[in-house]
Amino acid sequence: MIDVNRRLFLAGAAGTAVAAQAQAAGLATPAAATAAPVPVNPLVRNRADAQVFRHTDGWYYLTGSVPEYDRLVLRRSRTIAGLATAQERVLWRHEKTGPMSGFLWAPEIHLFQGKWVMYFAAGPSGGGEDVFRIRTYAIVCDGPDPMTGNWKVLGKFESPFDGFNLDSTIFEHRGVSYFCWAEREPGIDTNSNLYLAPLKTPLTLGAKAVRLTVPTLDWEIRGFKVAEAPAVLARNGRLFMTYSASATDDRYSLGMLTARDDANIMDAKSWVKSPQPVFVSSEVTSVYGPGHNSFTVDEQGRDVLVYHGRDYKAIKGDPLFDPNRHTRVQRIYYREDGTPDFGIPVGNGPVPDRFSPVGAADSFLMHEGDRVTVGKGPIPASQFRAVPSAGGAVMLVPVDAPDKCLIAGTDGTVRLAPIAKDRQFAMRSGFLRQSVGKDEVRFALAGRPGQYLLYRGGKILVGVQDRAFPPSTNFKVS
């Protein structure tokens, strides 16, 4: 597998030929990029358990576990991509002694009852197994701006069992703030289960908690019996609660509970568990142990899955102390029944897009093996990364075939081919992505002025633009 950077360098050498050809043909260079820069995975290195959300103040906030587990951090940016380089502030460091002097895990920041509160799990630093005497605490900000205010300890969450508890989150549903967290319950032989209850004050529950799920399925109990890191996405008349299961190595994965939004969500029977994990490691894209997710929307209002993952499988020592669970993001797509299809972790590089020919609105540019077609197919076969090949052109690389890209034949056919390092290849695979309207683009083949990627007669071709309506050159981006 060619390293993405080497591939870019090699294509770049050939890309200048493409640029010259395009320039000579007077092909417009790509229209100005959309308002927001495209995030590149990994988005933020060494930030596990990331919470990213867009607040009403227009800022994206990010917090997460640091490898040292010794401090609570926060950063913000006007764009998701900007989080990668945003300045990070330390809000609070673990104490010298006592119950909050050891690990600090998985912070989340919430505006609750008008105050910024950051929840986190903490344990003592006594060494041995005592360091896993983990409980949930909170710090609170004294002002309206979490990046400039002063933070101090608010106290400890009074959980039902006062057991190992962590990974709390808050979500609003029908005017009620709910607290959801992971905890070990006496008498149940698991590391953690998920619990839910209305939140009365920042650290006290407004009703008896309900146990939502216990890890029992084979993919939930690999290494450790774990259900942790709940996150809630309310869409299409349902609440989708994802959670993380198994040990934090490559076996870590996302499960999902689904409840109708008009159900009694305090009744465990309202929550139906997906029998299979909804997001798992991918050998194809080299992302392992994807989990501990959160949800946000991008600058265009499109749903985004935020999660951590490593870009290697084998871990030396305890995975908990491997620092390379990086924050990653990708867009969420939905099946016809309204349920989210998370696909696979898309791998390192720019976040991919999907392209629907304007003449086939409910289908997508995709590949089946090396055949390039249009259909509803699996999400990964229709997610294409625009890999820069210099000269303003891009190669269209499917996330599930990262060593291949679309290439034009001399007869106008289009297929997938292994990325080659020569000039001829660049001339046949370099496309100039051009904006042609809100969320619509076309791809001019830089090496053949006047020729475009086309959807015509149910096929994907390269050819001259015709008088068809809707234009066979235009693709809607999602």
Catalytic residues: 49, 228
Whole-number minimum distance, CB 226 to ligand AHR, in Å? 7
Q: Which of 229, 396, 408, 420 binds ligand AHR (CB under 6 A)?
A: 229
Q: Which of 228, 298, 353, 400 binds ligand AHR (CB under 6 A)?
A: 228
Whole-number minimum distance, CB 79 to ligand AHR, in Å? 26
Whole-number minimum distance, CB 46 to ligand AHR, in Å? 11
Chain residues 264-293 in contact with ligand AHR, contact rule CB under 6 A: 292
Cα 359 to Cα 114, 168, 204, 469, distances in angstroms: 48, 45, 54, 8
**Of 191 and 383, which CB lies nearer to ligand AHR in the complex structure?**
191
The one-letter amino acid code at 462 reads V
Q: Which of 101, 159, 168, 248 binds ligand AHR (CB under 6 A)?
A: 248
CA distance linking residue 412 with residue 472, whole number of Å? 14
Scanning the structure block, which residue is given the tokens 């096929």? 459
Whole-number minimum distance, CB 291 to ligand AHR, in Å? 7
Whole-number minimum distance, CB 104 to ligand AHR, in Å? 9
Chain residues 358-377 in contact with ligand AHR, contact rule CB under 6 A: none
Binding mask of the shown chain, residues 288 to 327, with x at each position contacting ligand AHR by CB under 6 A = ----x-----------------------------------
**Of 120 and 425, which CB lies nearer to ligand AHR in the complex structure?**
120
Chain residues 11-50 in contact with ligand AHR, contact rule CB under 6 A: 48-49
Number of shown-chain residues binding ligand AHR (CB under 6 A): 13
**Of 243 and 384, which CB lies nearer to ligand AHR in the complex structure?**
243
Q: Which of 11, 166, 257, 401 binds ligand AHR (CB under 6 A)?
A: 166
**Of 68 and 368, which CB lies nearer to ligand AHR in the complex structure?**
68
**Of 105 and 271, which CB lies nearer to ligand AHR in the complex structure?**
105
The secondary structure of the chain, three-state, reads CCCHHHHHHHHHHHHHHHHHHHHHCCCCCCCCCCCCCCCEECCECCCEEEEEEECCCCCEEEEEECCCCCEEEEEEECCCHHHHCCCEEEEEECCCCCCCCCCEEEEEEEEECCEEEEEEEECCCCCHHHHHCCEEEEEEECCCCCCCCCEEEEEECCCCCCCCEEEEEEEEECCEEEEEEEECCCCCCCCCEEEEEEEEECCEECCCCEEEECCCCHHHCCCCCCEEEEEEEEECCEEEEEEEECCCCCCCEEEEEEEECCCCCCCHHHCEECCCCCECCECCCCEEEEEEEEEEECCCCCEEEEEEEECCCCCCCCHHHCCCCEEEEEECEECCCCCEECCCCCCCEECCECEEECCCCCCEEEEECCEEEEECCCHHHHCEEEEECCCCCEEEEECCCCCEEEEECCCCEEEEEECCCCHHHHHHHCEEEEEEECCEEEEEECCCCCEEEEEECCEEEEEECCCCCCCCCCEEEC
> Does 245 interact with ligand AHR (rule: CB under 6 A)?
no
- Residue closest to 261 by CA, chosen among 241, 234, 280, 229: 234
Q: Is the peptide bond before 124 cis (omega within 30 degrees of 0)?
A: no
Whole-number minimum distance, CB 244 to ligand AHR, in Å? 6
Chain residues 438-477 in contact with ligand AHR, contact rule CB under 6 A: none
**Of 66 and 441, which CB lies nearer to ligand AHR in the complex structure?**
66
Whole-number minimum distance, CB 254 to ligand AHR, in Å? 12
Chain residues 110-139 in contact with ligand AHR, contact rule CB under 6 A: 121
**Of 79 and 136, which CB lies nearer to ligand AHR in the complex structure?**
136
Cα 165 to Cα 21, 119, 122, distances in angstroms: 61, 12, 9
**Of 68 and 422, which CB lies nearer to ligand AHR in the complex structure?**
68
Q: Which of 53, 61, 105, 164 binds ligand AHR (CB under 6 A)?
A: 105
Whole-number minimum distance, CB 208 to ligand AHR, in Å? 25
> Does 167 interact with ligand AHR (rule: CB under 6 A)?
yes
> Does 238 interact with ligand AHR (rule: CB under 6 A)?
no
Q: Which of 65, 213, 242, 294 binds ligand AHR (CB under 6 A)?
A: 65
Contacts to ligand AHR by CB under 6 A: 48-49, 65, 105-106, 121, 166-167, 228-229, 244, 248, 292
